[in-house]
Structure 1
Amino acid sequence: MLQQSSWTFRYSLEGFLKRVLHCAPCPLTAEGLVETVLSDWAGPEQSRESIAARVRASLEATNGAFASVGNDKFTLRQTAGDDLQNHAYHFLKKTKRPQKQGDILRHLQQVTGRGRGELMSRVDLDCDPRFARLDGGEWLLTEWQPANDKIVQMMQARGIRRADSVDLLELVNEEAEQEYHIFYPEYDPRFALVGTVVECLLVELEAAATAEDTGMKTEEDNMTTTEQATVTSQATETTDLSAISTHQLVATVLKQLTDVSNELKQRNQDIPNEVLTLFNSEDLAGIEVLMGERKRVGALADDLALFVSKWSAE
């Protein structure tokens, strides 16, 4: 479970160490923690020497979240936290969702009346063992048990391809021996998310494999040669822009931009399938690149749609 959650959520190094020590029944040695980081968190491009140095620096940081108990063993530091960190803790506890630093600070501004500058200088969640940070900057509670793995198993076993995220979490908690505190499919390459509806890509892949094994034909297989030729002809058809009026030119360009925006949106929906392939091969670097591209493609599609909407209204 711990290994999968590290891939699913991509904890920061400190966040991952907090999670490991929270789940451990006793203090762990620095060497043992290095081995766990290498096997469950670090990518293949990271050397043992650099990981060992980073782990050691995190464990021995002044006023950090970790405490030495002797014999080079470490555990989470016991702390009651100050009022601001306690407010942040209860905020996450109530929302039951990972939160960006900015959202946490805005909440603290509302409940304490203090300025953002003061809060930024005083709130240090890294030093509080109750909070674990993701690589993307979101904060979640170290105590939270991710439900992603259990939900994948359940959806595969039942052949469920799509379901509401809230319903899935409630269902898995009804059947599980332990309570799962969080289901966060946004950063999990095994899921695609539209609104609150979750689609398990692993179930789709299995369904596709079943279709091949049973000789079922897809829509593409059923397309006749004539239909394929028609599609190809339509795709390659171009408009001679020099032969149309200015009004038609503007309308044509806006339509082309709309088509490009729609194509980008479609590609963005297909990216999780590419990520899944990299996930299965544990290509962490490739996953990070694709997730970054997904944000860029989505932003570009939205900007184009906004541009078309603006000029179409004039």
Structure 2
Amino acid sequence: MRCEVEEKMAVGVWDWMEGCHLQDVISLHRYSLEGALKRIFYLRRSSLSIEELETILMDEYSFRESRSKESLRIRLQKSLQAQHGPFVSDGDRWRLREVDADALHQEIYDLFQQSKQPMKQGELLRMLQQRMNRSKGELMSKVDLQRDWRFARLEEGEWVLTEWDLDTVDVPKKGKEETKVSQTNDIVELVTHELEGYLDQLAQREQEIPQEVIRMFDLEDLSSIERLMQEKRRISSFASDLREMIAKWSRQTDSVNV
């Protein structure tokens, strides 16, 4: 009996939501466009046309008055049709793609469930590196929160779970200057992580070269040995420059954050 009552209540809620504007139910202005779309589809639990989505988003000032020169309709089409994106079409209607979660993205989902706080991607990568003992470069190449509809990006760059009600989540609000500094730091941090991943790859290659030299020595292939030694010198020089660049950027970012 209780289950029947709960089911009727749930149906009543969805009927009510379908009869009113979705923006009256959810706060969309804090999401990026893709994040807002994920949240809309998550709550609606049904497919929607571009026209219906546009009507919902047009009532949000942040989407209607975007600084983009493209119309909301064009931006919607690009978001929905993005290759390997979180949305799929059923004719002229769109819905969320089924999640095929791997162990890595399930770990990220669990991290959000435990922290109950929005997180930047750089922060996520650091936590994953500690928990999973994997290189930053490897993680950056495999983490794709945009494709997984369970994760929604906010306008300021933080990620949240799409299922969260943002009115109950503490998302720090920043002034314009603070936001600019934060966004710049996030970009520098992501680039730095990527460069560190390249360093890991260079170090791995540098370790492989001596074995190849021995193999070429057994084959008496002197030209290949010379080529390998030149490659090793280039790797050593390039890795040194990368380490210096990463250290410099890290110091500058740390000084800004103080």
Question: Could you tell me the TM-score, scaled by structure 1's length?
Answer: 0.47
1:58 corresponds to? 79
Select which of 103, 106, 117 maps to 1:97.
Answer: 117
2:27 corresponds to? 5
Give the conservation status (yes or no) of the 8 Å contact 2:31–2:154.
yes
2:177 corresponds to? 293
> Given the alignment of the two structures, is residue 87 of structure 1 paired with residue 107 of structure 2, yes or no?
yes
**Aligned equivalents of 1:45, 1:136: Cα separation in 2:** 14
SS of equivalent to 2:89: strand
SS of equivalent to 1:86: helix
**Aligned equivalents of 1:81, 1:132: Cα separation in 2:** 15
SS of equivalent to 2:28: helix
> Given the alignment of the two structures, is residue 21 of structure 1 paired with residue 41 of structure 2, yes or no?
yes
State the AA in 1 paired with 2:84: N
Give the conservation status (yes or no) of the 8 Å contact 2:87–2:96.
yes
User: 1:18-64, CA deviations, whole angstroms, 9 ceiling, x for partnerless residues?
Assistant: 01111114211011112222222414355895211111111111211
**Aligned equivalents of 1:98, 1:77: Cα separation in 2:** 23
User: 1:255-299, CA deviations, whole angstroms, 9 ceiling, x for partnerless residues?
Assistant: xxxxxxxxxxxxxxxxxxxxxxxxxxxxxxxxxxx82135689xx
Select which of 173, 177, 186 maps to 2:172.
Answer: 186
Select which of 133, 136, 141 maps to 1:113.
Answer: 133
Question: Could you tell me the TM-score, scaled by structure 2's length?
Answer: 0.56
Q: 1:296 to 1:104 in 2, by over 3 A?
A: closer
Aligned counterparts, 1:122-141, within 5 A: 122-141=142-161
State the AA in 2 paired with 1:82: D
Tell me: higher relative CO, structure 1 or 2? Use CA pairs within 8 A at least 6 residues apart.
Answer: 2
**Aligned equivalents of 1:6, 1:126: Cα separation in 2:** 17
> Given the alignment of the two structures, is residue 34 of structure 1 paired with residue 35 of structure 2, yes or no?
no
State the AA in 1 paired with 2:28: S
Identity, % of aligned positions: 40
- Aligned residue-pair number: 162
Unpaired runs of at least 5, structure 2 = 1-21, 182-254
SS of equivalent to 2:165: coil
**Aligned equivalents of 1:52, 1:44: Cα separation in 2:** 13
User: 1:64-95, CA deviations, whole angstroms, 9 ceiling, x for partnerless residues?
Assistant: 1011122x111111113111111111100110
User: 1:179-216, CA deviations, whole angstroms, 9 ceiling, x for partnerless residues?
Assistant: xxx322523xxxxxxxxxxxxxxxxxxxxxxxxxxxxx
Give the conservation status (yes or no) of the 8 Å contact 1:38–1:48.
no
Please provide the CA RMSD for this pair. 2.8
Unpaired runs of at least 5, structure 1 = 149-181, 188-289, 298-302, 307-314
**Aligned equivalents of 1:293, 1:55: Cα separation in 2:** 29
